[in-house]
Chain A
């Protein structure tokens, strides 16, 4: 266990160079894309050159690139993410991200729940009843899930479950806001303040977006679990378990599942990272004010500091989720020790 803690601390320290690298690459990429945030400030018209000059000076865009980068880092280490230039000129970026990020996190949580609670059992059942009708249906379903575009699925879900059978609200907008906002993740806030309406509303409003967002990952996880399950079922210790007198279910769920989850965990961890960063289309279709839309806007309008801050957040969460996966590994597989 001590080794594990040391490992976690080591990984957290490693986070710093990784984040710096991410920042540097983002910075270089952003500045190599043609476009100038100041150009978007005049609305439909053009700003007079004096105004542009002044703005460029205010934001330090006339400095050499490396100086701009180090100035940015200096601000960053003082906890100052700066202000948005063109997306929401003058707005504090920390505020923007702190408002937007919890929604994406909550969406990701729901998608991950669907991915895990549906994907793993589906993969297991599919492997257990190999080549049966269930298996074939699951496999075709997974194939469809992998190949379906997110926005199309979103619109279809809206039409089917929002219009034809009005069970779920078609948009996230209109969600009941909790009186107590501690985390900004409404589900958790609802539990903290024991406000059941918030909890129910959160579940109802996130249902469709979570399905739309999670369908791809769900399919990937299902396929992954199925194939690793099939592999594990051929192992000797499964025969041993059967020879002991374990029933089919006990063999699969007690002996095979945990082993087959070891490779699946990697995929799940990566998928969660992908869900966090890839929710733009879902957020657009379901009108969720999440981080994906914020960053897309920022990229479209060359809002350098906002892009940097958004990428920073996603990178950190991505790294942390992978750290969680690595720790989970150690739990799932006693052969791995840090």
Chain B
């Protein structure tokens, strides 16, 4: 008995020390000095090939692996030189980029103008690609031994592809230097002079420069891309980029790891690795940042105030790039619509006063404070075109605010009175096919709870001004492509996201008459247009067209502001709100630049200081587990011996 006790004690001590010691000596401890920035993502990336990325999770990674010709000054939307050190915008629809020298890809290859040209050609639609690209690459067995076609389909419906339709040609400027030699990737060397890439558009297109800031136009190493093919580029683009971080590994549904690229042409990253962890569960993500398992994430709206109150977490909130509005049907002659009454801007004005903007933005049932009042078509992030003097009336501006008295007065002044005394105004005489009661239909897409609640909020407010509102939910495609196009709704809730970073995207598709719904005489059906409100104001059309081809930014800004004033005075929309961009990060990291694009950009500036590690040190855990195992083994043996002896 004595003996076995001694043996047991010895075994416990040996096992626990062994466990602790082995952990201390294990190779992974040697890397403890390295810093890893951990980012929680709500989903896995779809692809790491910039060419066909369209989702946010992919984009957040791609922007750190690759660089584009034009980049943004951190935390703003102002352009700065990226892989192009400079550019000229010529009035005759052309942009010329000067390509940066002494840039190396992550595998050590120097970046040449050929890489730039190749990458941009790859983005173009088939028909727009140059014969050179097709002959030297697509149809060339040596250059493209596997016959990759770079699938023609993946991003064809996403906005990037549509935009590049406007491009006529992208070519290397073989001005002088390159002589008569056919310039291919094989004889291109780095630093062989200032190289230029010429981009020509079909029509004057002032916002063209911003196209070259997108992840899709990232410059990839053409040799690597050719070698890896579409699948390789998608899942493991090793050595393909020039960005501050190089691809290390991607485990599906788990994480993507990037390593610092020490030879980066710009600011070399402070952290050694970036880890994007996929954490599907929202509550788990919040717990992960509160316990320090991750450093950075997009916070959940429901957990926003929890994170805001946490002293270890810093949060950032500012108006984002999207807009949300209540559209009014401005067109009078759309068949199927109940009344032409909303074609009168004074009626629209009255209804604009009956929208409780404040409740929608701050109400707990609605945005709970995570939004900013929309005052004009464009968002404040695009500083140069934004007119910050436009404010709601109760703050000294000109914009309608929630004021039912004013709404009532306006309707009364139009002679829209409650004749039969049933509490609802009567509109006899306003339209030939009208019924008596002033009844409107509000449309939203089923499943969007916020929009549904907005509908009932409006219903209550409209009832107080003697307007009957029917709230009608439809499935998304019926809502958008059928009912909205045919003018079934008098008012509806919709949102808009920019296609490119230019005021043009906030005006042209939404307010230019050419984007309205189109009626097909043969089928008798309407085709949906982005200008669903049917805004058709010739001055606005003129201003938007002019601003598109004007290259002088100051003049453009003026044109947009003029258009803004007209649209506001016409009350074409109920200007509702801009959803806010939110970020949350642990105070252990500093230098995070909260991009207005809502992406984890510029991570090379982030510094991570080792905070006090949460949880129990691994050595202690090792010893504890060692003791538990030893005790279990000993008692097991003892029990077994007793069992067999008994």
A338: Cβ under 8 A from any B Cβ: no
Say which residue of B54, B154, B284, B291 sits within 8 Å of A287 (CB atoms): B284
A51 touches B153 (CB 8 A): yes
In the docked arrangement, what's the CA distance between A91 and B45, Å? 13
Q: Distance in Å from the Cβ of A197 to the closest Cβ of chain B? A: 4
B22 touches A194 (CB 8 A): yes
Q: Tell me whether A253 and B643 are in contact in the complex, defined as CB-CB below 8 angstroms, given that A43-B155, A158-B284, A171-B288 are known contacts.
A: yes
In the docked arrangement, what's the CA distance between A285 and B18, Å? 34
In the docked arrangement, what's the CA distance between A14 and B454, Å? 60
In the docked arrangement, what's the CA distance between A45 and B291, Å? 38
Chain A, residues 156-192, CB within 8 Å of chain B (1/0): the string is 0011001100111111011010010000000000000
B615: Cβ under 8 A from any A Cβ: yes
B253 touches A293 (CB 8 A): yes
Chain A, residues 275-294, CB within 8 Å of chain B (1/0): the string is 00000000011110110011
A200 touches B625 (CB 8 A): yes
Q: Tell me whether A47 and B153 are in contact in the complex, defined as CB-CB below 8 angstroms, given that A166-B615, A169-B615, A200-B23 are known contacts.
A: yes
B413: Cβ under 8 A from any A Cβ: no
Give the bracket for the number of chain B residues in contact with chain A.
35 or more
Q: Distance in Å from the Cβ of A178 to the closest Cβ of chain B? A: 9
B592: Cβ under 8 A from any A Cβ: no
B19: Cβ under 8 A from any A Cβ: yes
Chain B positions within 8 Å of A41 at CB level: 153-154
A204: Cβ under 8 A from any B Cβ: yes
A2: Cβ under 8 A from any B Cβ: no
Q: Tell me whether A46 and B22 are in contact in the complex, defined as CB-CB below 8 angstroms, given that A99-B251, A170-B287, A287-B281 are known contacts.
A: no
A203: Cβ under 8 A from any B Cβ: yes
Chain A positions within 8 Å of B19 at CB level: 196, 200
In the docked arrangement, what's the CA distance between A89 and B234, Å? 9
Say which residue of A99, A169, A173, A200 sits within 8 Å of B277 (CB atoms): A173
B622 touches A96 (CB 8 A): no
Chain B positions within 8 Å of A99 at CB level: 251-252
B284 touches A88 (CB 8 A): no
A285 touches B643 (CB 8 A): no
A174 touches B157 (CB 8 A): no
In the docked arrangement, what's the CA distance between A158 and B293, Å? 12
Q: Distance in Å from the Cβ of B28 to the closest Cβ of chain A? A: 6
Task: For B613, give the chain A residue with the smallest CB separation.
Answer: A166
Give the bracket for the number of chain A residues in contact with chain B.
35 or more
A197 touches B22 (CB 8 A): yes
B28 touches A197 (CB 8 A): yes
In the docked arrangement, what's the CA distance between A55 and B153, Å? 9
Chain A positions within 8 Å of B293 at CB level: 169-171, 173-174
B23 touches A287 (CB 8 A): no
Say which residue of A45, A171, A289 sits within 8 Å of B284 (CB atoms): A171
Chain B, residues 412-437, CB within 8 Å of chain A (1/0): the string is 00000000000000000000000000
A250: Cβ under 8 A from any B Cβ: yes
Task: For B161, give the chain A residue with the smallest CB separation.
Answer: A45
Q: Distance in Å from the Cβ of B284 to the closest Cβ of chain A? A: 6
B279 touches A287 (CB 8 A): yes
Chain A positions within 8 Å of B28 at CB level: 176, 197
Task: For A155, give the chain B residue with the smallest CB separation.
Answer: B283
Chain A, residues 46-81, CB within 8 Å of chain B (1/0): the string is 111001001100000000000000000000000000
B291 touches A162 (CB 8 A): yes
A287 touches B278 (CB 8 A): yes
Chain A positions within 8 Å of B27 at CB level: 179
Q: Distance in Å from the Cβ of A151 to the closest Cβ of chain B? A: 8
A247: Cβ under 8 A from any B Cβ: yes
Q: Tell me whether A254 and B643 are in contact in the complex, defined as CB-CB below 8 angstroms, given that A91-B231, A166-B614, A294-B253 are known contacts.
A: yes
Chain A positions within 8 Å of B279 at CB level: 171, 173, 287
Say which residue of B26, B38, B234, B251 sits within 8 Å of A196 (CB atoms): B26
Other than the given A42-B154, A173-B278, A289-B253, 14 more pairs (CB < 8 A) read A43-B54, A48-B156, A96-B252, A158-B283, A158-B284, A166-B614, A170-B293, A171-B284, A173-B293, A196-B22, A197-B22, A197-B29, A254-B646, A289-B278
| Interchain Cβ contacts under 8 Å between A and B, 29 examples | A42-B156, A43-B46, A48-B153, A54-B153, A88-B235, A89-B234, A90-B230, A90-B234, A99-B251, A155-B281, A155-B287, A163-B291, A167-B615, A170-B287, A171-B279, A171-B293, A173-B288, A179-B27, A196-B26, A197-B622, A200-B19, A200-B23, A200-B618, A200-B625, A247-B646, A250-B646, A287-B277, A290-B253, A293-B280
Pairs A-B, 10 closest by C-beta atoms: A45-B157, A289-B253, A289-B254, A51-B153, A196-B22, A197-B26, A287-B279, A43-B54, A173-B277, A42-B157
